Chain A
Amino acid sequence: MNQNGDITMHLDHALSPRGASIPLEVSDPVFTLDDVSVFYGDYEAIRNVTLPIGKNEITAFIGPSGCGKSTLLRSFNRMNDLILGSHLKGVVAYHGTDIYGPDVDPIEVRRKVGMVFQKPNVFPKSIYENVAYGPKVNGAKGNLDDVVEECLTRAALWNEVKDDLKKSAYALSGGQQQRLVIARCIAVKPEVILMDEPCASLDPIATAKIEDLMVELANDYTIVIVTHNMQQAARVSDRTAFFTAELDDNEVRHGRLVEFGRTRELFSSPGDTRTEDYISGRFG
């Protein structure tokens, strides 16, 4: 019975999205989320999100811990599939195709939608092999020197490592490792790069380098970044989505999208008091 009730509510909602505070003015969206909820087992981590991601834009997801922003990010390349018991309601459309559709291969999705994680997860291989890994598993044959050089150059790392390509990636500093991960990611030639708090473990100088890199990469890639750092969102992003964690009628916590808009507008004149409280540092 409960199940039926949920489905009815879900349909109602999809037909008339409560989109008043969520402007959908993005003209050329790469992704369109329609009424997306993500569950871990019975727990609904984030509820009813409707949101577009603009092409060659940087979209920032901000909000307090536990608001489901990372969970939502991981639904863009089906990384949540790897977590036992997770499932998704609603539609995550990539250029109009539901990536959770029946004949969609998550591996193909991940080749189009790359991801950079909070902790620089370089492989225990050489710097060269880290970058060459993606093209190799995707069937590239022959000499990858040019690809490696190009990707390391694009990730603003080439000049620092060009003489040490055979060295272990673990020999690099944290900031260099994170740029290596970005180089590794673009070697697969994705269209979208998801970044889950990419600077959380970095010092301010390394962070600044990554931020410059993001802005540079946005010329060719669509970037979605989750960040705890509001200044970072304000500095680099074109649009910002603010999420929060709320208790529902049954006292269960779940994430909600509060507000989505152009970053400058959202930070200068937030349309919701919760956004205003958060960005002015009153909670979170």
Chain B
Amino acid sequence: MALNTASETAEGLSLRQSRPRYGEKVIRFVLAAAAFVSIFTTFGILISLLIPSIEFFLEVPITDFLFGTTWTPLFKDGEFGVLPLLSGTIVITVIAIAVAIPLGLGASIYLSEYASTRVRKVLKPTLEVLAGIPTVVFGFFALEFLTQLVLIKIFPGIEVFNALSAGLIMGIMIIPTIASLSEDAMAAVPSGLRDGAYALGSTKRQTAIKVVIPAALSGIVAAFVLGISRAIGETMIVTIAAGLQPQLSFNPLIGMQTMTSYIAAAGSGDLATGSIEYKSIFAVGMLLFVLTFIMNIFSIRLVRRFRQVYQ
């Protein structure tokens, strides 16, 4: 059977595009540009980190940096062993997530499974306000209130600047992130699954723990990872409350410096551009970037593994 082309369809019936659709192309371009801005920025940051870092590692061997136990960049003949900064970051992050994960998950289970609609309507926004408090305020709260009024009574030997107060307050700061995202994940679990669990004679606790949490696990894990990332990247609280002394120790009662607070403190000082101290900022920044990057990759895999597709 012979076919007409679109333009020569019988009786003036044309199936060709009747007028150009410029708007479509413009919108497509604008939206694509919006999407690519973040990618270009990421690459830009990566390059600006990479160049001074490479220069740094030309002067300081990478093994000295990664495995050295003394961090004294401002001394004459300073040493650049990053382990003290790493230990500070790890200690404070572990304290923070030890506070934030149980409390955040508990809050989200309560909000999603136990709280009445009225309580939830009040509690969830209140919790989210906590996420809006500037971290500098949290920092002073840790230093002035938590350390001076509370911790000093429990641990008489505690230093004024200490990792414990910074970690605890950072944990409280992260609770809303974990609680709110986990609650979203649990609320997205189809109510049919809850009905199914209750219809089998499950209690509320069994329904929450054995059905709702496993079904929401990918979202909950994502919430945890975001919380941990925030803890690792958090700067202001540790700068104010944990002090600026790099110490290779796991004792939370003494002052510590983290990778972020070193960057903040050194970056706001008057280091000569191009000096080895200056370049060390970028090397630490690079390490921070690599660590969070590895964690994000890990979490994406984890989330994919637990992902459940609802019909």
Contacts and interface: CB of A to CB of B under 8 A. Distances in A.
A185 B195 contact: no
Contact of B214 (A107, A124, A138): A124
Given A123-B193, A133-B210, A115 B199 contact: yes
Interface string B299-310: 000000000111
A117 B211 contact: no
B192 A119 contact: yes
Given A84-B117, A107-B203, A137-B206, A121 B196 contact: yes
A157 to B, nearest CB: 17
B201 interface: yes
A108 B201 contact: yes
Residue of B190, B194, B195 ringed by the most chain A CB atoms within 10 A: B195
A177 B169 CA distance: 47
Nearest to B309: A170
Contacts of A79: 195, 198-199
Contacts, number: 73
Contacts of A188: 200-201
A216 B147 CA distance: 70
A80 B192 CA distance: 13
Nearest to A177: B311
Contacts of A138: 200-201
B199 A137 contact: no
Given A117-B195, A124-B215, A137-B206, A185 B308 contact: no
A137 to B, nearest CB: 5
Contact of B199 (A110, A119, A125, A136): A110
Given A124-B308, A137-B210, A117 B200 contact: no
A254 B194 CA distance: 27
B202 interface: yes
A181 interface: yes
A136 B201 CA distance: 11
Contacts of B195: 79, 82, 115, 117, 121
B227 to A, nearest CB: 23
Interface residues of B, number: 24
Contacts of B192: 117, 119, 121
Interface string A127-159: 000000110111000000000000000000000
A134 B207 CA distance: 11
A110 B204 CA distance: 13
27 contacts: A79-B198, A82-B194, A82-B198, A84-B117, A107-B201, A107-B203, A110-B199, A114-B199, A115-B195, A121-B190, A121-B193, A121-B195, A121-B196, A123-B196, A123-B215, A124-B214, A124-B308, A125-B214, A133-B197, A137-B202, A137-B206, A137-B210, A170-B309, A170-B311, A185-B200, A188-B200, A188-B201
A107 B117 CA distance: 22
Interface in B114-150: 116-117
A77 interface: yes
A239 interface: no
Interface string A95-124: 000000000000110110011010101111
A79 to B, nearest CB: 6
A136 B199 CA distance: 14
A188 B200 CA distance: 7
A179 interface: no
A133 B198 contact: no
Contacts of A119: 192, 311
A256 interface: no
A108 B198 CA distance: 11
Nearest to A113: B199
Contacts of A69: none
Contact of A170 (B190, B198, B308): B308
Contacts of B215: 123-124
A110 B196 contact: no
B200 A133 contact: yes
* Chain A to chain B: the 8 pairs with minimum beta-carbon distance, closest first: A111-B201, A121-B192, A124-B308, A115-B199, A121-B196, A134-B200, A110-B201, A137-B206
A184 interface: yes
B232 to A, nearest CB: 30
A221 to B, nearest CB: 14
Contacts of B214: 123-125
Residue of A107, A137, A138 ringed by the most chain B CB atoms within 10 A: A137
A137 B309 CA distance: 24
A242 to B, nearest CB: 25
Interface in B182-197: 190, 192-197
Residue of B190, B193, B198 ringed by the most chain A CB atoms within 10 A: B198
Nearest to A181: B196
A138 B201 CA distance: 7
Interface string B73-116: 00000000000000000000000000000000000000000001
